[in-house]
Amino acid sequence: MTTQKPTPPVEPLPGDCCGEGCPRCILDIYEDALARYEVERAAWEAEHHKAS
């Protein structure tokens, strides 16, 4: 059982993207991390809801 609630990824600042069409843009990386966080958060909440 995961005891520590997942923390969301840090959102990039507007100037963090260089705008040059990088293959793995910082905004893409953030979106991937955010999607993983949502899955982890939902699992954590489900575990802790059962425990209460």
**Residue range 8-40, pLDDT digits in tens:** 999 999 899 999 999 999 999 999 999 999 999
Q: How far apart are CA 47 and CA 39, in angstroms?
A: 12
Angle 2-27-29 from CA coordinates, rounded to 5°: 45
Residue by residue, DSSP assigns 1-52 as ---SPP-PPPPPPGGG--SS--TT-HHHHHHHHHHHHHHHHHHHHHHHHHH-
Global pTM value:
0.82
**CA distance linking residue 16 with residue 43, whole number of Å:** 30
pLDDT, residue 3, reads 79
Residues in the chain: 52
Confidence check: pLDDT of 1 > 70: no
